[in-house]
Amino acid sequence: MKRQCYGHMFPSLDSRDKEFHQGKVFGLKIESKGVGSTGFEVLVDEEQWERCIECSDYRTCYDLSMARFQVARLAT
């Protein structure tokens, strides 16, 4: 049985209206002024990252997380 966090290291980009997106390890803070974005900041939860890399499911979880993130990026 996989953990509930499996495949969710990276944030979901489900809404362009949000200024902050958080995954289990990585977050994305979008800076905006007016109607457009002016930049972004990538956030990393170092403690969670350490827990993830020690997990026996790390490699496949990372692969699934990355695939989900890339597909979501293509769709936005």
Contact criterion met (CB below 8 Å) for 32 and 39:
no
Rounded Cα–Cα distance for residues 9 and 60 (Å): 11
Specify the pTM: 0.80
Amino acid 52 reads: C
Please list the rounded mean pLDDT of every run of 10 residues in the chain (76 residues).
93 76 92 74 96 97 95 80
* Confidence (pLDDT) at 31: 82
Burial of 45 (0-12, 13-18, 19+ CB in 10 A): middle
Short-list 74, 76, 71, 16, CA closest to 7: 71
